[in-house]
Amino acid sequence: MSHHRFRELLAMPGVREVCTLRGQLGFMAYHGGSLEEMTDVIASQAAERSGASYYGVLQPAGQQHHIPSHRISALDSAHLQGFLRHVDAVITIHGFGRHGYWTSLLLGGQNRGLAHHVAEHLREALPDYHVETDLEQIPRELRGLHRDNPVNLPRQCGVQIELPPRVRGQAPHTEALIDALTAASTTWVGASASPPVRVGERPSGSSPV
């Protein structure tokens, strides 16, 4: 799969690319719309409420083209380039569904300080869910550590959050999730305090993300 695949997706009828530049912390949801449902809504609302920047790609109903994160290239999008230049760190919202993880939120990405900061807010707001920050307990393909993954391209890298269906689709849970992400965003000072703890890993075997 070439880098041009993302460019082709953006050119498809009905696909919307949204970019709003505000604060130096950003939210991303480039598997939004009908692909990983509600991820764009969660990311955009948390960004708007906290004054953070936002980048999303929304696919229309009936369309579900999944491009792995490490194949999402800023070379194919001026909006994504501008977003990544503007922000210091990012919170990327994804959706997943896997047996044994229906009530688990998985926090990957190379900025582990930000991951633990966000996790504190999520645990308080969502006591019925397990919030996992131990990378060894997260399936390798969901860790978000690949150097080409957009979550790791800002100056301070970022955290990749994998959300199970339930927390994305039930109003009380989803609203609590957005509130927690908003609080985490507005209280994060890591971009001006200290550099992230980078975790160098290029997953082998299964496709990295």
Residues spanned by the domain of 78: 4-189
Tell whether 181 is covered by a domain.
Answer: yes
Q: What is the pLDDT of residues 24-57, one digit of tens each?
A: 999 999 999 999 999 999 999 999 999 999 999 9
Strand partners, 108: 160
Q: What is the pLDDT of residues 129-155, one digit of tens each?
A: 999 999 999 999 999 999 999 999 999
Tell whether 200 is covered by a domain.
Answer: no
Q: Which two tokens stand for residue 119?
A: 């996790």
Q: Which of 142-146, 190-194, 200-204 has the highest mean pLDDT?
A: 142-146
CATH of residue 62's domain is: 3.40.630.100
Instruction: Count structural domains, the chain.
Output: 1
State the pTM of this model: 0.90
Burial 18-47 (b: 16+ CB within 10 A, else e): bbbbebbbbbbbbbbbebbebbbbbbbbbb
pLDDT of 204 > 50? The answer is: no
Which range has the worst mean pLDDT, 5-9, 40-44, 199-203? 199-203
Tell whether 14 is covered by a domain.
Answer: yes
